[in-house]
Structure 1
Amino acid sequence: SSSLIAPLGCVSVIASAVISVVFLKETVCASDIVGGTLAITGTYLLVTFAPHTSTHITAHLVQYYAISWHFLLYLFIEIIIFCLLLYLYKMRNVKHIVIVMLLVALLASLTVISVKAVSGMITESIKGQLQLIYPIFYVMLIVMVASCAFQIKFLNQAMKMFDATEVVPINFVFFTASAIVAGIVFYQEFEGLALLNIFMFLFGCLLSFLGVFLIARNRPKIKHLIFLTKTKALIYSVKPIPL
């Protein structure tokens, strides 16, 4: 389910930290150890208490979900928030990292919904139940491509304006939250799940968020590294003037 896959992105953050220590010889801080422990514990809780029910995604099911009142209300609210944030970002020139990453997260929720719908319908078609003849498949395909393209556009802009150590953890938290909400609203992934499982799943997400922030906050600033590298190259390239 999308509610399970999205939070597991913290594994890539842990792997990046391990690679930095092993190959780039970065020093290990206490916050790195605590952050890694929290992220691993959160991942264990996510895998243990996430909804594991598998649903056959067909065109008729996607159509049913797409016209449900709770999804239409969710989509209406999301469009209003997106337009407001885009107005602040483009017209008012408010270049705050939270605004940019919220734009990415709102697009990501549509990406999660459409990717699961497209992949599910392709899977059912391969199994013998042809789903590619229904218009909803191509609607979801267009939504998937468009949302991915604009998501990458805003992410690239964020990477140009802000440091990667700021963008990565905030993007992970916002993307995970949007994926979970999208899975709950559109695919009703938490339906029938015990209250304890829901609480432990959300607690696992919180631990993963804290772990990622602790790991990312001590990573060296990418822009600073580039500046220092260029400065060293300039110093080494200057030859002493012969007397």
Structure 2
Amino acid sequence: MLLGELGVFASYAFAPLSLIVPLGAVSVIASAIIGIIFIKEKWKPKDFLRRYVLSFVGCGLAIVGTYLLVTFAPNSHEKMTGENITKHLVSWPFLLYMLVEIILFCWLLYFYKEKNANNIVVILLLVALLGSMTVVTVKAVAGMLVLSIQGHLQLDYPIFYVMCVCMVATAVYQATFLSQASQMYDSSLIASVGYILSTTIAITAGAIFYLDFIGEDVLHICMFALGCLIAFVGVFLITRNRKKAVPFEPYISMDAMPDEGAG
């Protein structure tokens, strides 16, 4: 897992954010296939159509969607220099986007904390909003590190450390909300809904911050959107057909049991 995450981190330095984020569908496909091969779940014949056929259809759709994503994804990719990142950070489209995101995040957080709105969409929207900032900052940090390794030092720019702090902070709070969601909802539901929401908002943030789709024609944008939609459906079919985990039942000691002889 550590090697995989390091690979994902490095990939942000070499490709547009709008291409890398949706490719998370590949991990869902891989986990479904590996799980069938190695876990070897027992299944009844009547469950075959409902669970396994739909899962294979989901894998097929996710593969088709991934192919369209790779084929029609933005090709432009600028160097992550301190000057470029600072320019994007203070651009009015991104500042407007940040204002809308902060207002939406505070509104959702208010309902979640004060109104006890524990709906999965509310929680995963909070995760997705934080995640969009995580991927934006990860790409900046990874790009600046790669340029520094190549001999173009970027670590003397204050924006590098600002991005590092934002990356760590948003990742930590994102994990906190995910942990809370996992205590209330099934992991397969979290995986499908979280992937769809996080991917959509992250692509939007990347398109605004890094201008990924500038210069792309309408056909490429539409086919890219279609690839995302097909991948979303595929991931949904894969995750919804997984077995639900057995609820955890805490151990109760004999000392904690009520005394039957008590009046």
Normalising by the residue count of structure 1, what TM-score does the alignment of the two structures yield? 0.90
In 1, the alpha carbon distance for the partners of 2:172 and 2:77 equals: 29
**1:150 equivalent among 173, 182, 202:** 173
Which residue of structure 2 lines up, in the alignment, with residue 139 of structure 1?
Answer: 162
Which residue of structure 2 lines up, in the alignment, with residue 52 of structure 1?
Answer: 75
How far off is 1:177 after superposition? 0.8
Which residue of structure 1 lines up, in the alignment, with residue 38 of structure 2?
Answer: 23
How far off is 1:39 after superposition? 0.5
Answering whether residue 104 of structure 2 is matched by residue 81 of structure 1, we say yes
Which residue of structure 2 lines up, in the alignment, with residue 34 of structure 1?
Answer: 57
Which residue of structure 1 lines up, in the alignment, with residue 217 of structure 2?
Answer: 194
Larger displacement relative to structure 2 (118-127 or 101-110): 118-127
Count, aligned residues: 228
% same residue: 51
Q: Secondary structure in 2 aligned to 1:51? A: coil
Q: Which runs of 5+ in 2 are unaligned?
A: 1-15, 251-263
Q: Which runs of 5+ in 1 are unaligned?
A: 231-243
In 1, the alpha carbon distance for the partners of 2:37 and 2:149 equals: 43
In 1, the alpha carbon distance for the partners of 2:199 and 2:80 equals: 22
In 1, the alpha carbon distance for the partners of 2:135 and 2:37 equals: 33
**2:144 equivalent among 115, 121, 124:** 121
**1:13 equivalent among 28, 34, 53:** 28
In 2, the alpha carbon distance for the partners of 1:20 and 1:75 equals: 39
Answering whether residue 175 of structure 2 is matched by residue 160 of structure 1, we say no
Q: Give the conservation status (yes or no) of the 8 Å contact 2:17–2:206.
A: yes
2:61 partner amino acid: L
Cα deviations across residues 134-190 of structure 1 (Å, max 9, x unaligned)? 111111111001000000111111111111011011111111112211110000000
In 1, the alpha carbon distance for the partners of 2:225 and 2:197 equals: 14
Q: Calculate the aligned-residue CA RMSD, in Å.
A: 1.5
